[in-house]
């Protein structure tokens, strides 16, 4: 026999359908929501619907945005001559947290992955080429993930951009700050040695 | 500068306000919801609002229910002469998963806890006494949590029920099935020895 009310069980199921949320956690979250004040529960529901209806891709950089042009592309304070190429909107968030990058972005929305049937045409690559071709860009920083697919994508994109008069760079490889040297893998150590700098 | 759209950040904040959900997980969940089909996202939002508006306490046992009387109290197949007393609706769910209990429940909605200023009048205790006083009950099983507050509450409730012609029992203490004996604490082992049964 169903132990809870049908509507509570539906809410538990909804939470359980989220990635990484098991049954116990789903139950805990559903009970928490049930005990929220009415307006807080409504705010949660509204946030889901608002995000679904309002969020689109910026028409310039394809980062997620509520407006046609995202706040970063729209800002007069950002350096319009520099584009940092990332594979995912979450990478924009990570880079923004450094507070040290003042250029614009270009979000590819994935990486080239033949295994997953994702080719260059499935990504925002031709839009990047068009941005560079339109002129006014001095540097493109490749900041795809430091793994095989990310590297291959960066390689592919940089080859397409080579005809244009633009500097193409990529993020430095090396040992992560705050880590332990002994846990770094050989490839990372090799790259850190290669990229060593004078004190 | 805000890296995401305002509505996406609001959704991340909503997930982050849930217990046990950190920023990274909230971000992951928000992106997942954003990629859901429209109707799935709407179903999620509706499940929150429905649960908030529909869920109430059963007028008989105070378990959570969509109707005045919950399916368990309403069922002609359940033994109406047995009441299992628990502190929380989640305990009903746990006991129902055994598929072996066929009586009804009574949910106290908490335990007596002087530290947290929760006294007997804050719980559904007088409603339980009224159910037993109304007659037709042969056994009351105390199934509050096996800790100090749960025990004290069970003790208090059972004392109130003593004047009535009703058998009062409680769940057996012992070593949990599937555990290792060496990890059992002394009190549990003592209770398991006390409650030993013939093979």
Q: What is the pLDDT of residues A36-90, one digit of tens each?
A: 999 999 999 999 999 999 999 999 999 999 999 999 999 999 999 999 999 999 8
CATH 3.40.50.970 fits A6-54, yes or no: no
Nearest to B4 by CA among A102, A43, A91: A91
pLDDT band, very low/low/confident/very high, at A125 (cuts 50, 70, 90) = very high
Cβ-based contacts of A3 with chain B (< 8 Å): 63, 72, 89, 92-93, 95-97
End-to-end Cα separation, chain A, in angstroms: 71
Say if strands A64-65 and A56-57 run parallel, antiparallel, or are unpaired. Answer: antiparallel
Evaluate whether B131 touches B74 at the Cβ level (below 8 Å). no
Which residue of chain A is at minimal alpha-carbon distance from B47? A11
DSSP letters, B4-16, are S-HHHHHHHHHHH
The shortest C-alpha distance from B105 to chain A (Å) reads: 10
Tell me the three state secondary structure of residue B95. helix
Topology adopted by domain B70-198: Dna Topoisomerase Vi A Subunit; Chain: A, domain 2 (3.40.1360)
d(CA B149, CA B167): 22
Contact A51 B30 (CB under 8 A): yes
- Chain B residues in contact with A65 by the CB 8 A cut-off are 5
Summarised one tens digit per residue, pLDDT across range B73-123 is 999 999 999 999 999 998 998 888 888 899 999 999 999 999 999 999 999
Q: Over the Cα atoms of chain A, what is R_g?
A: 22
Q: Which of A7, A30, A41, A109 to mutate to test the interface with B (most CBs of B within 10 A)?
A: A7
pTM score, two decimals? 0.76
Domain ranges of chain B: 6-54, 70-198
Q: What angle do CA A150, A154, A159 make, to 5 degrees?
A: 150
Q: Which chain B residues have a beta carbon less than 8 Å from that of A95?
A: 3
Per the structure block, which two tokens stand in for B3? 């890296």
Phi, psi torsion values for A61, nearest 5 degrees:
-110, -10
- Give the mean model confidence (pLDDT) for residues B126-140: 95
* Straight-line distance from the first to the last Cα atom of chain B, in angstroms, rounded to the nearest whole number: 71
Closest residue in A to B103 (Cα) is: A1
Q: Can you give the pLDDT at residue B183? A: 77
Please, where are the H alpha helices in chain B? 6-16, 23-34, 38-54, 71-74, 89-96, 125-133, 148-161, 186-194
The pLDDT-based confidence of A136 (bands split at 50, 70, 90) is very high
Residue B157 pLDDT > 70, yes or no?
A: yes
Contacts of B61 in chain A (CB under 8 A): none
């Amino acid at each position: 026999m169903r132990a809870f009310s049908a509507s509570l069980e539906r809410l538990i199921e909804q939470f359980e359908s989220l990635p990484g949320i098991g049954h116990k956690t789903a139950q805990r979250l559903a009970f928490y929501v049930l005990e929220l004040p009415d307006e807080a529960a409504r705010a949660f529901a509204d946030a889901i619907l608002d995000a679904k209806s309002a969020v689109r891709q910026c028409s310039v950089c394809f980062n997620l945005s509520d407006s046609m042009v995202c706040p970063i592309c729209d800002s007069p304070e950002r350096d319009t001559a520099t584009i940092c190429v990332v594979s995912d909107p979450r990478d924009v968030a990570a880079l923004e947290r450094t507070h040290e990058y003042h250029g614009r972005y270009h979000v590819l929305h994935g990486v080239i992955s033949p295994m997953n049937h994702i080719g260059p045409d499935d990504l925002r690559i031709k839009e990047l080429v068009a941005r560079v071709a339109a002129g006014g860009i001095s540097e493109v920083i490749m900041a795809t993930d430091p793994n095989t697919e990310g590297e291959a994508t960066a390689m592919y994109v940089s080859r397409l951009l080579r005809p244009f008069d633009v500097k193409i760079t990529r993020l430095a490889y090396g040992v992560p700050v705050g880590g332990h040297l002994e846990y770094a893998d050989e490839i990372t150590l090799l790259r850190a040695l290669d990229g060593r700098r004078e004190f």
